[in-house]
Structure 1
């Protein structure tokens, strides 16, 4: 039996937070895609607000606290990541950025990442493309094509936008499953990985 490690990082500040709600939905769909009769999935969810003081102190002292250091170590050993941030001032939150500033620029190389964000208006959806995707490209992660943005309209019971969110979540989870199976970290020759031409021809749109 193979065990996959799925690490979920959410920067929501409320309790509960919409970012955590989206992270849970994404991780549930991703777990379903990564699971098989011979593969189990270990999901760990990290709420960055629980480590906010240690993250701030790290910038002052230059050294991470043991708990924070352990989180970063487990992050870099994961088979896949789900990352979700609320939108603040048109970008990801400072807490989200500060945490990933602690990660070495090569430590996430080849790790598949599914990105998500939440905000108060649909007009902030492009933050995922102009801010978050470049961050993880810099960290050399493999970011799946579909990024998930959820605004308040997406949580309405029985609404068409909710159905659209569910469809987008499952599409992104399928892409993450494919990326994990094709990952060089699993011994796959990266030169054999082929682009998803259907996605290239019909890129996902954000709602």
Structure 2
């Protein structure tokens, strides 16, 4: 039986990134819980071909490899920094390239980071509808964290750790 694969994808364009660290943290927790292999990428891993791409065939082979690994994964952890009340533009552009049926039924933990609490609904008002369009199985528990929830790139907030744990439990059951 093939090993379960968990893939993380972050919409950040800078490194190091709190969002990427957050996605990596959630991916690691889910991989531990399920005994799965794991891998994470961010928008930067797609390279400059993403900027000009109008369809998947316009991506370089390396960028296409990221897409293929996402589509082959058994579950996803997807996060974006909040920019002006929504996910980043390149994050959305990446998902615009995917076939609308490509994520159907795939378990997804959605997460976002932002500078303050006023952006906390980005997970419900932006990310959840995006993955609803793809008919993905977005976990009931979405996670939003602010700068105060991290120290040196690590999650230090107990309420955020608890939400991560709840989302991981839900995803583990969905992976079955």
Q: TM-score normalised to the size of structure 1?
A: 0.78
Aligned 8 A contact 1:156 1:162 in 2: no
Encode CA deviations 1:117-158: one digit per residue, 9 max, x unaligned: 00000110101101110000101110000011110121259x
State how far apart, in whole Å, the 1-side matches of 2:68 and 2:32 are.
25
**Number of residue pairs the alignment of both structures matches:** 173
How big is the alpha-carbon RMSD for the aligned residues of Structure 1 and Structure 2? Answer: 1.8
Which is higher, the Rg of structure 1 or of structure 2?
Answer: 1
1:70 and 2:65 matched = yes
Cα displacement (A) at 1:22: 0.6
1:149 and 2:126 matched = no
| Structure 2 residue ranges without an equivalent (≥5) | none
Aligned 8 A contact 1:58 1:65 in 2: no
What does residue range 163-182 of structure 1 map to in structure 2 within 5 Å? Answer: 163-181=158-176
| Structure 1 residue ranges without an equivalent (≥5) | 36-40, 182-207
Q: Which residue of 1 aligns with 2:3?
A: 3
What does residue range 83-102 of structure 1 map to in structure 2 within 5 Å? Answer: 83-102=78-97
State how far apart, in whole Å, the 1-side matches of 2:65 and 2:12 are.
20
Q: Which residue of 2 aligns with 1:199?
A: none
Encode CA deviations 1:168-192: one digit per residue, 9 max, x unaligned: 11111111101111xxxxxxxxxxx
Cα displacement (A) at 1:61: 9.7
Encode CA deviations 1:23-80: one digit per residue, 9 max, x unaligned: 1110111112212xxxxx1211112123241111213996222112222122111100
Q: Secondary structure at the match of 1:59?
A: coil
Q: TM-score normalised to the size of structure 2?
A: 0.91
Q: Secondary structure at the match of 1:3?
A: coil
1:43 and 2:38 matched = yes
Which of the residues 102, 108, 123 maps onto 2:103?
108
Which 4+ residue blocks in structure 1 deviate beyond 3 angstroms? none
